[in-house]
């Protein structure tokens, strides 16, 4: 039974500690074949005046937002065409790539690219997977199916998709999209 002990300066909320417990459990299970209930995570909190580094007390940094929730809010804003809200979730150097495109950096470019392809698209999500990425990045995959309307007014649904996002400091810096839209459109 793996046991993980974590010491934190007081100040993190219950949700932050729950996320830490889940993440540490998952990290252990990535290497050790243990059931979730077989991994023990103990979080010890200490008062800020009981922790010193460099002869001074420290306060905890705020927790980063849940990257999967950031991606969910971003995709909801994009679906609603609330580009200002979506843009506010992007980080420095934001880059996106969709099937058949080169890299794009502006949401207006994406809207222009989509305009001659379909009237609208909605996503039905089967899941979101979040994990640490390289350096300071978090990686989120979401997957499911696309529904919407072609330019001629006919409906489509059940088209597979997967999106991969990178987030740094809680902001989206990259989005890569794969889907079967061209494959399905070629058969209709």
Shared domain check, 154 and 172: yes
Percentage of the chain beyond pLDDT 90 is 88
Q: Is residue 62 part of a domain?
A: no
Strands 171-179 and 52-53: unpaired
pLDDT tens, residue by residue, 6-62: 999 999 999 999 999 999 999 999 999 999 999 999 999 999 888 888 999 888 889
In a domain, 160, yes or no: yes
What is the predicted pLDDT for the residue at 1?
87
Distances (CA, A) of 120 to 8, 22, 76, 135, 173: 46, 36, 13, 36, 24
91 and 28, same structural domain?
no
pTM over 0.85: yes
Q: Return the closest-CA partner of residue 114 out of 148, 155, 165, 161.
A: 148
- Does 20 share its domain with 76? no
**Domain stop point among 36, 57, 78:** 57
For the stretch 135-164, pLDDT in tens is 899 999 999 999 999 999 999 999 999 999
Instruction: Find the domain containing 11 and state its range.
Output: 3-57
What CATH number did the domain enclosing 42 receive? 3.30.429.10
| Same-domain status, 72 and 51 | no
């Amino acid at each position: 039974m793996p046991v993980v002990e974590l010491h934190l300066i007081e100040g993190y909320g219950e949700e932050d500690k729950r996320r830490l417990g889940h993440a540490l459990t998952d990290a252990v299970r990535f290497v050790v074949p243990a059931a979730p209930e077989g991994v023990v995570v103990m979080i010890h909190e200490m008062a800020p005046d009981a922790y010193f580094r460099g002869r001074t007390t420290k306060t905890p940094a705020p927790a980063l937002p849940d990257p999967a929730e950031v991606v969910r809010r971003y995709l909801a804003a994009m679906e609603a065409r609330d580009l200002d809200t979506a843009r506010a979730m992007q980080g420095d150097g934001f880059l996106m790539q969709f099937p058949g495109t080169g890299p794009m950096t502006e949401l207006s470019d994406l809207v222009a690219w989509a305009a001659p392809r379909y009237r609208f698209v909605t996503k039905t999500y089967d899941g979101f997977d979040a994990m640490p990425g390289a350096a300071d990045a978090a990686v989120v995959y979401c997957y499911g199916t696309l529904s919407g309307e072609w330019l001629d007014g006919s409906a489509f649904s059940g088209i597979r998709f997967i999106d991969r996002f990178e987030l740094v400091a809680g902001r989206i810096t990259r989005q890569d999209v794969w889907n079967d839209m061209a494959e399905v459109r070629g058969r209709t």
